[in-house]
Structure 1
Amino acid sequence: MSKTKIPALPGDVTWTEDQWKAIWAKDQDILVAAAAGSGKTAVLVNRIIQKVISEEDPIDVDELLVVTFTNASAAEMRHRVSEALEKAIDDNPHSQHLRKQLSLINRASISTLHSFCLEVIRKYYYLTDIDPGFRIADSTEIQLLRDEVMEELFEEQYGQSDNEQFFNLVDAFTSDRNDDALQNIVRSLHDFSQSNPNPGRWLDGAASMYELADDDGIDDLSFIDSLKFDIGLQLDTASDLLERSLALTKIPGGPAPRAENYLADLGLVAKLSEVKDQSWNALYEEIQNVKFGTAKRLTGADFIKEVADEATKYRDKAKKIIKSLQEELFSRKPESYLRDIRELKGYVDTLVMLVKRFDERFFAAKAEKNLVDFADLEHYCLQILTGETVDGERKPSAAAIEYRNQFKEVLVDEYQDTNLVQESILKLVTADGEYDGNLFMVGDVKQSIYRFRLAEPNLFLGKYTRFTHDGVDSGLKIDLNCNFRSRKEVLDGTNFLFQQLMGITVGEIDYDEDAQLKKGAPYPEDDPYPIELHLIDGAADPEAHSEMEGYDGGFEAEELEKAQLEARQMAKLIKKAISEKHRIY
């Protein structure tokens, strides 16, 4: 049984059982998988309030660390907690504890993680080499500085006459016009490395993937299992397509004579799947011999042309998959790939060198101007909170232990968007152990696949898989899948769509009963409301890209661009609906 004792759900409240459990569960790490429209913010606010007004074990509001994803979310959270406290005071006007909480609310740690990092750095700046008078650079300023540092770095590299490795890298990744492509690669690698607790170690690890011993084969490559996994997915898809073709031969009017072709094709694909798990060389040899037989002729009037054409279409798609594998991965002998990887080692080492030098110069340029960016905030905070590293695991510093003693619980919203640096920070200020921890995480398991802002979704997915609904020997998992925004038709359509798209193999999670959206809003169901699915191709809408030029409004350009496209499409649909209504009436 769970170690959490949940009070009985009163009959006069509107909470669902899972919401009630999320409000009251305690004494261990808790992961709340909250679907869209499931009332997660209300649950989070009420959890905070219940801890503050508890008669058995009341705590002060500044003994909670509440981490939100945006400043707006933090402001809304603080406002809602304040309103709830005022209401509690109205019900119990003589409570000195509640009045104290209202006075503490502005000091409470309800903020983005970056704001918390800033608080840590301001308090313990003397433990780092940062100037206490630093300021956070705005996006335009930091981008201009990045570009300036990058240009200076590349000019210096061009100026070295004995810099053959750099010139080889330039030849490999740039055009005759400019070296923007290579500069963008350096920027991307730098940004991604900063999302790791130890950027330098991550870069060195990426370069080490190209180190091969003389007797190493392709099966010894660190990424070969991932590549074979992808090949397996493609072979499974080809097999599914051929099974569809075969099924069509068995229906009335189907191309029955071609069943022999499809069975033979399925045998070829099955053999490829079998040898794939043996060795790369075996798969290479086998795929060279793949030849699809000529389709049997169909004569007479015993078959329906449309059915035969559909079966042919499935078979052609399967053949195209196999042909693509042959051309993209198996057109060359395995030895040639090993030779390429050994030759690439020099390019990768040079690229890593550029990223590291860019990082050093960019850091120095920011320090000279007394600037920090958001990545700096995270790494300075992590430096302050880390005492020592034992067997690769960070131990809390004296500062981290102070925060552990201060915070009775740490609550994190939008946990699926957490990266590895942020996770390391959270671990250092929370109690050790998931079964006995004090970390409360809220996130959407379906959004975890998007990897917003260099997030590491496996942090969420790993806990979602590891935690259990009873919390025995692990953390506690609670699913909030009751949607209070949408009609049944919308939820049914969404569930149907994602049942086809998401699974462990591709989407990293099963869209099972726990993940599906359940109806919570009391919409009438007398009349059916059919739904529509609209797919928006951003690349085909140049207007959205032109509107983003020069934008600096506080949101990521890519996120705003998507919002603009969605808003434009919604506006078109609303205008169409209004126009049609006017025509009717």
Structure 2
Amino acid sequence: MTQLTQEQARAVQERRVSVALSAGAGCGKTHVLTQRFLSYLDPEATGGQPARLRELVAITFTERAAREMRLRIRRACRARLLAAPDEPTASYWVGLLREMDSARISTIHSFCRQLLCRHAVEAGLDPHFRVLEEVEAQTLLLELLDDVLRRRLAQQQEPFLELLTTYDLPTLRQMVQQLLECRLEIDFPYWTQRTPEELAQHWEKLYQDWFSAYRMEFLTDQHVQNLVQLIRSGQKVSELVRQRWDQIETLLKGLPHSSNLQADIQLLRENAKVQDLRAKSHWPDEDFYIQYKEAAKKFRESALKKLESFSRWPEPSEVETLARMALHVLSLAHEVLQAYEEEKRGQAALDFDDLVAEAVRLLEGPYGQDVRSLLAAEIRHLLVDEFQDTDPKQVRLIELLCGEDFLRGKLFFVGDYKQSIYRFRGARPEEFHRLRSNTPPGGRLSLTVNFRSQPGILDFVNALFCEELGPEYEPLRPHRPQRNPEPIVEFLWAKEPAQETSDDESPEAEETEEPFQAEAEGSEEAKAAEIRRQEADWIARRIRQLLDSGQPLVHDEEAAREGQERLRPPQPGDIAILFRALSNIQIYEEALRQYEIPYYLVGGHAFYAQQEIYDVLNLLRAIQSPQDDVALVGVLRSPFFNLHDETLYWLARSGAQQ
């Protein structure tokens, strides 16, 4: 067996109970998953009673991960074949290699598709059903949305017209689209039968529950904590300042249960001002004054402002109007979904969400017991990767597949709460915590030894997550020694000009921050753009400095393969810049070009987002739907026809007159 750490070996060898493996990033999770799969097939590891390949099911999150796992298992089988001590052992591994293409290693959607194909009749499906690709399903849904909007517009229905008087058509379309994206989380039949009054009452209850919790959590706000820390710092201040501090602490203490919240917020705001406290006699020194003034400003302008905005519930008439509008929008989305389901039935098609839902329905339905018994006999061991990105429906499927053996050694699942990135698709990382807590203690295992990063990086990650995730967080431990000179984590803070303290900002200087002067319209956007340009320049300049320094900073993999551990100077390909969004990417590209840094953009304007593709799509939409004026204008303006806007205007005017 490949050399494993103590943690990895336990995760591979534990057989008494099912295993819930919490695996940190870079800790060899895929390697362990592969070795666990192989251990079921190894005659030596199983005491001469290996599982058959078809009795193992491995579920990965992506097709790419499934291919990688299959490839790793194939390589490991080949290595064991070459190391076989005798002919029978070699013949065994040769047989496994020949069967490897039939190994049941797939995504959960592929598994469900195969299950439904085998039991289409029991599931009430067309045996020849097809699966819509994600892009195809999304396109169909949007086309049906446009059809519904056009039909409602042509019918001149009163609720629809009321929506159009409040929102324009593109905004309304976007609102319905957002509901469609959350369709799995909405009980449309239930909510479309509710009255505006019932929905308004539901909203108010949700608000009251949430705001009660928020009032309790307000004291943990960072700006509140910073102000309280300064108040309790023990600094010598005047009696007037001390009186205001005592008032602030008293108000904060009673805030969660205040009977007159608005008045208390106003008192907090007044007591947190320093406009009339500029004399030196009030403060121990100028530095503390400036520090407190900045903390008080952020307390007022961030924490208190947020609390005040959250504390106001609209008038009942306003809420009922919003509820009525919401139900109108919900009915539009429901109509689109009904048309979508009808269209899929007509095509004998399922989308990816249907695959899991129909598989669960099959296993829970009239024929469920028979199908589950069959699967229980077929599946001896079930392995699931990336469990933190599963949704409740997928978790229910796994529970049904395991049946009574759910915690008795049949299931091996791997996840990491920190690495959940698909919540927007319905993933619920708390499901991983729930199942892990239900697993017997002997099966709650962890991988914490990191093979990817140096100690300095891991120290930063641990410091960042330990407070955020609380006592459940398991610190990552380094496998490799620290080779770079520390510190190896740097921060480049691009600050707003207003945040910089001027030389004349002293207790005796003129107070200008209270009240704050109104800023010109658009100044916030301009300020943000300036900060981004500053940040981009700093990043590019720092990268240029690293590349020109010649300082050995990067682990030399070629030398490591020769048995030598050393560092080499960085190259452009060693550096990555990560963004939350690419909306302002051009600013950073300009900075990189200015400092002559070669780069390429990953995830930028993809093939289907290019203008040429939009032109073709507009042409096809205009042909399919002559009423789609937007698509028609788009194709007429494209290189297909190359009409100017002025020409389109006169054509439209001429058509209207006719």
Shorter-chain TM-score: what band?
Answer: 0.7 to 0.9
Q: Deviations over 1:111-164 (max 9, x none)?
A: 011111111122122234543334333444333322211111111222334x32
Equivalent residues in 2 for 1:103-182, closer than 5 Å:
103-161=98-156, 163-172=157-166, 174-175=167-168, 179-182=169-172
Q: Any idea what SS the aligned residue of 1:430 has?
A: helix
State how 1:420-439 maps to structure 2 within 5 Å.
420-432=392-404, 435-436=407-408, 438-439=410-411
Give the residue type in structure 2 aligned to 1:453.
R
More moved, 100-109 vs 480-489: 100-109
Q: Deviations over 1:507-527 (max 9, x none)?
A: xx3265x52211012x35484
SS of aligned partner of 2:417? coil
Q: CA deviation at 1:427?
A: 1.6
**Alignment map for 1:474-485 (pairs within 5 Å):** 476-485=443-452
Q: Greater CA deviation, 535-544 or 378-387?
A: 535-544
Contact persistence 1:255–1:307 (CA under 8 A): no
One-letter amino acid of the counterpart of residue 245, structure 1: L
Residue aligning to 2:230: 245
Partner of 2:173: 183
| Equivalent residue number for residue 4 of structure 2 | 15
Structure 2 residue aligned with 1:58, among 50, 54, 67?
A: 50
Cα offset for 1:454? 2.3
Is residue 245–residue 312 contact of structure 1 (8 Å, CA) maintained in 2?
Answer: no
Q: Cα deviations across residues 66-93 of structure 1 (Å, max 9, x unaligned)?
A: 0011111101111111222233333254
- Do residues 324 (structure 1) and 282 (structure 2) align? no
Alignment of 1:512-523 (within 5 A): 514-521=473-480, 523=481
Q: Which of 369, 384, 387 is the equivalent residue of 1:412?
A: 384
The one-letter code matched in structure 1 to 2:280 is: T
Whole-Å separation in 1 of the counterparts to 2:116 and 2:68? 25
Aligned residue number for residue 448 of structure 1: 420
Once the 2 structures are TM-superposed, how far is the Cα of residue 60 of structure 1 from its aligned partner? 1.0
Q: CA deviation at 1:246?
A: 1.1
Q: Which amino acid aligns with 1:40?
A: K
| Cα displacement (A) at 1:206 | 9.4
Deviation at 1:241, TM superposition (A): 2.4
SS at match of 1:110: strand
CA distance in 2: counterparts of 1:226 and 1:319, whole angstroms = 22
Distance of aligned partners of 1:227 and 1:102 in 2 relative to their CA distance in 1, 3 Å threshold:
farther
TM-score (norm 2): 0.68
Structural mapping, 1:136-535, within 5 Å: 136-161=131-156, 163-172=157-166, 174-175=167-168, 179-194=169-184, 201=187, 204=190, 212=198, 221-237=205-221, 238-248=223-233, 250-251=234-235, 258-275=241-258, 283=261, 287=265, 292-293=270-271, 295=274, 296-300=277-281, 303-321=284-302, 323-325=304-306, 327-331=308-312, 336-387=314-365, 396-432=368-404, 435-436=407-408, 438-448=410-420, 451=423, 453-467=425-439, 470-471=441-442, 476-499=443-466, 502=468, 509-510=469-470, 514-521=473-480, 523=481, 525=483, 527-528=485-486, 530-533=488-491
Gaps of 5+ in 2: 493-577, 587-600, 611-658
CA apart distance, 1:386? 2.2
Matched residue SS, 2:280: coil
In structure 2, do the counterparts of structure 1 residues 352 and 444 end up closer, same or farther at CA, with 3 Å as the change threshold? same
Letter in 2 for 1:538: A
Return the structure number with greater relative CO, CA threshold 8 A, min gap 6: 1
Partner of 2:620: none
Distance 1:104 1:326, change over 3 A: closer
Q: CA deviation at 1:47?
A: 0.7
C-alpha separation in 1, matches of 2:316 and 2:417: 39
Partner residue in 2 for 1:47: 36
Q: Take 1:151 and 1:449, find their aligned partners in 2: how far apart are those partners?
A: 31
Percent identity between matched residues is 22
Q: Label 1:337 to 1:497 Cα distance change in 2 as closer, same or farther (>3 A).
A: same
Instruction: Give the drift of 1:426.
Output: 1.4
Q: Which amino acid aligns with 2:455?
A: K
Structure 1 residue 44, shift from structure 2 partner: 0.6
Q: 1:313 deviation in Å?
A: 1.2
Deviation at 1:255, TM superposition (A): 7.8
Contact 1:52 1:59 in 2 (8 A): yes
Deviation per residue, 1:290-344 (Å, 9 max, x gap)? 552354443259732222111111122222245424642334xx5x555444444
SS of match in other structure, 2:64 = helix
Instruction: Give 1:429 deviation, angstroms.
Output: 0.9
Query: What amino acid is the match of 1:483?
Result: N
Give the letter for the 1:482 counterpart: V
Q: What TM-score does the superposition give when structure 1 sets the normalisation length? A: 0.75
> What residue in structure 2 maps to residue 567 of structure 1?
none
Distance, in Å, in 2 between the alignment partners of 1:33 and 1:155 is 50
Report the CA distance shift for 1:157/1:452 in structure 2 as closer, same or farther (over 3 A). closer
Q: Is the 8 A contact 1:488 1:519 kept in 2?
A: yes
- Range that drifts further, 75-84 or 281-290: 281-290
Amino acid across the alignment from 2:190: D
**Contact 1:51 1:58 (8 Å CA) reproduced:** yes
Amino acid at match of 1:319: R
- Cα–Cα, structure 1 residues 285 and 549, in superposed 2: closer, same or farther, change >3 Å? farther
Q: Cα deviations across residues 186-219 of structure 1 (Å, max 9, x unaligned)? A: 233223233x5xx6x47636986976499x799x
C-alpha deviation, 1:361, in angstroms: 1.0
Q: CA shift at 1:42, angstroms?
A: 0.8
Change (3 A) 1:234 1:182: farther
Q: Deviation at 1:546?
A: 6.2
SS of the residue corresponding to residue 264 of structure 1 reads helix
Change (3 A) 1:13 1:60: closer
> Hey, what's the Cα distance between the residues in 1 that align with 2:315 and 2:451?
54
User: Structure 1 residue 244: deviation in Å?
Assistant: 2.4
Change (3 A) 1:80 1:346: same
Q: 1:479 offset after TM fit, Å?
A: 1.6
Instruction: State whether residues 416 and 459 of structure 1, in contact with CA within 8 Å, keep that contact through their aligned partners in structure 2.
Output: yes
1:29–1:437 Cα contact (<8 Å) kept: yes
> Which string of whole-angstrom CA distances, capped at 9 and with x for unpartnered residues, describes residues 387-422 of structure 1?
26xxxxxx9442233222211121111111101221
Could you tell me how far apart the structure 2 residues matched to 1:255 and 1:396 are? 76
TM-superposed deviation, 1:15:
2.2
Confirm whether residue 84 of structure 1 aligns to residue 65 of structure 2.
no
The answer to which of 542-551 and 375-384 deviates more is: 542-551
Deviates further, 523-532 or 311-320: 523-532
SS state at 2:608 partner? coil
AA matched with 1:409: H
Instruction: Kindly state the Cα deviation for residue 56 of structure 1 after the two structures are TM-superposed.
Output: 4.7
C-alpha spacing 1:233/1:86, structure 2 compared with 1 (3 Å): same
1:324–1:45: structure 2 CA closer, same or farther, 3 Å change rule? same
| Structure 1 residues 120 and 551: alpha-carbon distance in aligned structure 2, compared to 1, 3 A threshold | farther
Give the aligned length. 500
Task: Tell me the distance in 1 between the aligned counterparts of 2:393 and 2:248.
Answer: 49
1:370, distance to aligned residue in structure 2 (A) = 4.5
Question: In structure 1, what is the Cα distance between the partners aligned to 2:215 and 2:279?
Answer: 33
